[in-house]
Structure 1
Amino acid sequence: MIDTVVKPRTKVKTKTERPKLHKVLLVNDDFTPRHFVVRVLRAEFRMAEEQAGRVMMTAHRRGVCVVAVFTKDVAEEKATAATDAGRREGYPLLFTTEPEE
């Protein structure tokens, strides 16, 4: 006589999770010309002239402004590229990132 052992089959459900998002922030300074900030916003974040002007003025009035929201890697890459664009021209332009809540 042969004993048969039956194992219950279990299905593993993989749950994909959305990546955490990060905000790119423009920090106001009193030295970088407004037209240069608009140029960087248009180049790095593909904004229209009017939208870039609004973002720049919001940062100017409030001290900081959310530019866009991306996954962490993209947000850090764009913030670094935009900050580096200012540094190349000798401006203290600063973009940072922080997790979105």
Structure 2
Amino acid sequence: MSDNDSRPEDEADVLLQTKPKTKRPPMYKVMLLNDDYTPMEFVITILERFFQIGHSQATEIMLTVHKKGLAVVGVFHHEIAETKVTQVMTFARKHQHPLQCVMEKE
């Protein structure tokens, strides 16, 4: 090996370089909106069935929707949030309820 061999120094530089950080994908809030027609028990059923929320917590969230007009029921990656919104809206329409479920970027 000669004194001009710069290979170990180059390797050290490569090892010290940091990898570019990748951004985390944006998260989306899924929210239920209040209306005057959807029964409270139906909202509880939605929360238990599509968001795996226990009965007591589902009742609390339903009351928040009822009193405040809306409540965040979960925060998910885009595709999951979109799926949850579609599932809830389809289920509500199937049961002839005007319940609204929306998502917005966090």
Normalised to the residue count of structure 1, the TM-score between the two structures is: 0.85
Taking the aligned partners of 1:68 and 1:13, their CA distance within structure 2 comes to 32
1:92 aligns with 2:98: yes
Question: CA RMSD of the aligned region, Å?
Answer: 1.7
Give the aligned partner of residue 3 of structure 1.
none
Other structure's SS at 2:19 match: coil
**Structure 2: runs of 5+ lacking an equivalent:** 1-9
Taking the aligned partners of 2:86 and 2:92, their CA distance within structure 1 comes to 10
Alpha-carbon offset, residue 45 of structure 1: 0.2
Normalised to the residue count of structure 2, the TM-score between the two structures is: 0.81
Give the aligned partner of residue 43 of structure 2.
37
The one of 49, 53, 66 aligned to 1:47: 53
**Structure 1: runs of 5+ lacking an equivalent:** 1-7
Structure of greater Rg: 2
Give the aligned partner of residue 64 of structure 1.
70
Alpha-carbon offset, residue 13 of structure 1: 2.7
Taking the aligned partners of 1:55 and 1:45, their CA distance within structure 2 comes to 12
Select the structure that is richer in helix. Answer: 2
